[in-house]
Structure 1
Amino acid sequence: MELTRQNSDTHPGGATRDVVTAMLFVGLMFFILGFVTWLNGSLVPFLKIVCGLNSFQALWVTFAFYIAYTVMALPSAAILKRMAYKKGMTIGLGVMGVGALLFIPAAQSTHYALFLVALFTLASGMTLMQTAINPYIVCIGARESAAMRISIMGLFNKGAGVVVPLVFTHLMLDGIGGFSDAAMAAMDAAGRDAARATLSQRLVFPYACMAVALFAIMVLVHFSRLPDIPAEPETADLPVNRAGVLQFPQLVLGVIALFCYVGVEVIAGDTIGLYGRDLKVVNFGILTSYTMGCMVLGYLIGVAAIPRYLSQQKALVCSAVAGLVFTAGVVTSSSSAHGLSQVLLGWAGVPSVPDTVMCLALLGLANALMWPAIWPLALQGLGKYTASGSALLVMAISGGAVMPMLYGRLADAGNSQTAYWLMLPCYALILFYAIKGHKIRAWR
């Protein structure tokens, strides 16, 4: 990908109007990605009831979804080398539409494996889109403002994350009290199966609508005039190296940092509903909105502060430190007192939650600037290896598959609150990358 041409006379997307148009269009893509991604936070406790699962089993939802980024990242990069980005987005939306359709037979059968196949298919299409649009946003303008542009895209992505749990709760979790653990335990086997089948049917209409919308947007993208960025020419600025993309420590360490970041982001966004249900929080179905709301606030800070007041590196340092502090708060705060949320949210009339849940939601604020900061730091200086580096970074999204599963195992084996200590070493690794790791340019 071309990284150096940023003037309007040399870069097709360099003119201000073209950049703004492209950002608005790609913003729609980020909204779609956010809508599908953050639906998982409400889907996990929902499927736990429908399929009669424990926490570890329910978090296979996140594993099936995020492992697709590892499995499909390199094939996605290969597809994008053969065709333009717009065609890649079109194919990605089509695959996502097929994944949404697969939810219909899954809901009708209440077969957990079919839900996982549908989620994997959805995420496969998303992988192709992620592989294209993230480096596109980095390269479309000045690199020093890349984190700001990604922050704007994050507003679309996490804004969808605020809306989705509210919509899901309205459509699918109405009257969920009748499906509580106590209510289900009081039924005989036939009654439980009938209740779960009835609840599962609520998924059919929303996912059918999602499929129609995805196919419609696929057509819109196909006929759009979204500007493209030319591929890196063969006579690139870097010599061929047998180590290939792995010769860059800033990238490899960035992949590790991104793996940790996505892991803690998914834990904060997708386990908060399960955790709230364990604590008998009445509005557990919308708790993902709390985390996403904090992330939106973080992205607004990024848009306003980067790079004018805060460099990408300093933003990452501040985010990692905040992550360590809020994680300590999750593990040590009260599970019954509501003082923190009353102070922070009471003025807005938002229902209060236990302090430990509020600290978990505040991790959204800590996590918001990590993705937009890590990407440009990790891709710095890669030249013709940028596309391969982007594929590796997309593969790091598999942290969202692995880390929540580890949390689920720890929660089932012990205590769901203390299991959140798992995030402390992740934030410590991100802090190392922010301070030193991204500066390393040679392995020796």
Structure 2
Amino acid sequence: MTQEKKSGNLIAIITMCFIFAMISFVTNMAAPFGNIWGFQYSWAAMMGNMMNFAAYLFMGIPAGKMLVKYGYKKTALSALAVGAIGLIVQYLSSIFGADIETFTYDGQIVALNLIIYLFGAFICGFCVCMLNTVVNPMLNLLGGGGNKGNQLIQIGGTLNSLTGTLTPLLVGVLIGQVTAETSMSNVAPLLFIGIGIFILSFVIISFVAIPEPQANTGNKKFEHSPLAFRHCLLGVIAIFFYVGVEIGIPAQLNFYITNLGFEGSAAIGGTLAASYWFLMLIGRASSSIISGKISTTAQMTAVSLFAIIMLLIAILMPETVTVEFKGNEIPMKCFLIAVCGLSTSVMWGGIFNLAVEGLGKYTAAASGLFMMMVVGGGIMPLIQDFIAKATNPITSYWLIIAMLVYILYYSKIGCKNVNKDIPVE
């Protein structure tokens, strides 16, 4: 490899890692923002998150087609522009529509500002879907697939977790305790920061040269679908469950602590949710170091088992077992749930890496399918929230355990490529 090519690849890797960070920044606004809307509408706490991930269902396959037809750079630039628009629309919900009634749901009159916010969250979902479609196959490709490809995805995931840590923490600091007076105007500074970062990112990426491995395949018709590969099909299902796990664990934890109702509960809920994302950062950073030597399958098996054990202990542990945290008695189980961030840290990159291994020319199309199934991050936490309201928040974690059991199965058995007879060149 020439020095010029190495330098170009390094710039591309840095750019992709930066985009990875942006994905988490936008996505992780939904759950803490949900505390604001959930206080006003009992059913709306997870709706912003649902709209954010519902967009993946509509945009996943189109994003994959954009990647094939227009390449990585144009798809990324389009995504950044869409993201800025989505955050602007969310900001509009803080200044308009609070006094305009729309319809009645669950005995409550819904104001227009909630509809505006949900529309903005939906637009942002298009953005992060497109960015995800770009960054994952690009990093895997730049790493040459296999353990090295997974290593680069974990490095990008480390930055993703850093912004994931900061976002709920910043929201918690901005709103402190959720009251009847709390509104989106309290978090407007965070929205302005996000808009500014999107604009700056657009300018920077405009001048960065990004490899375009799909440049000459836009008009080609492939003989098969990525779903013809069993390990890809099962991986698509695993991604659906994984994103539900990743989002559901901290979101429900945040709601649980916030609803304890003591002074500053929202801030502490945001802090523990942020600690979950911080532990994801630690896990991904660690994985980025060891992935060149320890297989993806071994890592996935270990973290799946660890998460299942931690959640089983948390569910069975009495609430009377508490830890003093910032002057308040917090159930010990909350900390065990937050520790699961170490496990979820490597799952996204691990599942993607295993599922696209050996796909060759079908990789870009597979990436679009994966992004479509990220809708699981909206559907499964919503189901978990229904369970939490019907029973209690801790009981809802049985759903998380069930999804982790499937991920464990995929890590050991389902990830094996049994369709090597299909040509991929």
Equivalent pair of 1:40/1:270 in contact (CA under 8 Å): no
Of all paired residues, the percent bearing the same amino acid is 22
Distance in 1 separating the partners of 2:21 and 2:284: 14
Give 1:94 shift: 0.2
Match of 2:17 in 1: 27
1:87-137, CA deviations, whole angstroms, 9 ceiling, x for partnerless residues? Answer: 111110000000011012212224212111100101101111111111000
Q: Do structure 1's residue 99 and structure 2's residue 86 form an aligned pair?
A: yes
How many angstroms apart in 2 are the aligned matches of 1:118 and 1:338? 39
In structure 2, the CA distance between the partners of 1:351 and 1:17, relative to structure 1 (3 Å rule), is farther
Letter in 1 for 2:127: G
Contact 1:337 1:355 in 2 (8 A): yes
Which whole-Å deviations, capped at 9, do the CAs of 1:318-352 have from their partners, x for residues lacking one?
1111121122123122334335xx8xxx9xx9998
Task: Give the residue type in structure 2 aligned to 1:137.
Answer: L
CA shift, 1:239, in A, is 7.3
Cα separation, 1, equivalents of 2:214 and 2:142: 11
Correspondence for 1:159 among 134, 159, 162: 162
Match for 2:133 among 131, 134, 143?
131
1:247–1:413 CA distance, 2 compared to 1 (3 A): same
1:440 positional shift: 4.5
Offset of residue 439 of structure 1:
1.0
Aligned counterparts of 1:389 and 1:277: Cα–Cα separation in 2: 39
Q: Distance in 1 between matches of 2:356 and 2:71?
A: 21
1:297 is aligned to 282
CA distance in 2, matches of 1:98, 1:275: 32
Q: Out of 203, 213, 216, which is 2:200 matched to? A: 216
Cα deviation for residue 246 of structure 1 reads 1.9
Q: How is 1:175-190 mapped onto 2 (pairs within 5 angstroms)?
A: 176=177, 179=179, 184=180
Q: RMSD of aligned C-alpha atoms?
A: 2.6
1:397 to partner: Cα distance = 0.8
Offset of residue 436 of structure 1: 0.6
State whether structure 2 residue 373 is matched by structure 1 residue 396: yes
Name the structure 1 match of 2:248: 267
| Bigger proportion of residues as helix | 1
Residue 38 of structure 2 aligns to a residue in which SS?
Answer: helix
The answer for unaligned runs of 5 or more in structure 1 is 1-7, 185-194
Between the aligned partners of 1:214 and 1:223, the Cα distance in structure 2 is 15
Q: 1:336 to 1:300 in 2, by over 3 A?
A: farther
Aligned residue number for residue 188 of structure 1: none
Change (3 A) 1:158 1:398: same
Secondary structure of the residue aligned to 1:226 is coil
User: What's the TM-score, normalizing by structure 2?
Assistant: 0.87
Q: Where in structure 2 are there 5+ consecutive unaligned residues?
A: 99-112
Q: Name the SS of the counterpart of 1:436 in structure 2.
A: helix
Higher mean C-alpha deviation, range 56-65 or range 371-380: 56-65
Q: Which amino acid aligns with 2:120?
A: A
Q: How far has the Cα of 1:233 moved from its partner? A: 4.8
Cα distance, 1:155 vs structure 2: 0.8
Match of 1:147 in 2: 150
SS in 2 for 1:57: coil
Distance 1:291 1:401 in 2: 19
The aligned residue for residue 252 of structure 1 is 233
Are the structure 2 counterparts of residues 86 and 350 from structure 1 closer, same or farther at C-alpha, using a change threshold of 3 Å? farther
Q: Which amino acid in the other structure matches residue 87 of structure 2?
A: A
Instruction: Give me the whole-angstrom Cα distance separating, in 1, the residues matched to 2:219 and 2:166.
Output: 46
Aligned partners of 2:184, 2:201: CA distance in 1, in Å? 27
- CA distance in structure 2 between the partners assigned to 1:370 and 1:435 by the alignment: 13
Match of 2:258 among 274, 277, 294: 277
Q: 1:250 to 1:203 in 2, by over 3 A?
A: same
SS at match of 1:431: helix
**Residue aligning to 1:240:** 223
- Provide the C-alpha distance between the structure 2 equivalents of 1:90 and 1:233, rounded to a whole number of angstroms: 20
Instruction: Give the corresponding residue for 1:424.
Output: 401
User: Residues 352, 154 of structure 1: CA spacing in aligned structure 2 closer, same or farther, 3 A cutoff?
Assistant: farther
| Aligned-partner Cα distance in 2 for 1:235–1:101 | 36
The 8 Å contact of residues 148 and 307 in structure 1, kept in 2 or not, is answered as yes
Does the 8 A contact of 1:38 with 1:269 survive in 2?
no
What is the distance in 1 between the residues matched to 2:47 and 2:252?
12
What is the match of residue 105 of structure 2?
A: none
Question: What is the correspondence of 1:363-382 to structure 2 with a 5 Å cutoff?
Answer: 363-382=340-359
Structure 2 counterpart of 1:189: none
- The answer (yes or no) to whether the contact 1:137–1:149 under 8 Å persists in 2 is yes
Q: Is contact 1:277–1:284 with CA below 8 Å preserved after alignment?
A: yes
Count of aligned positions: 401
CA distance in 1, matches of 2:186, 2:252: 22
Q: Which structure 2 residues correspond to residues 29-68 of structure 1 after superposition, within 5 A?
A: 29-49=19-39, 52-54=40-42, 56-68=43-55
Cα pair 2:68 2:214 within 8 Å, conserved: no
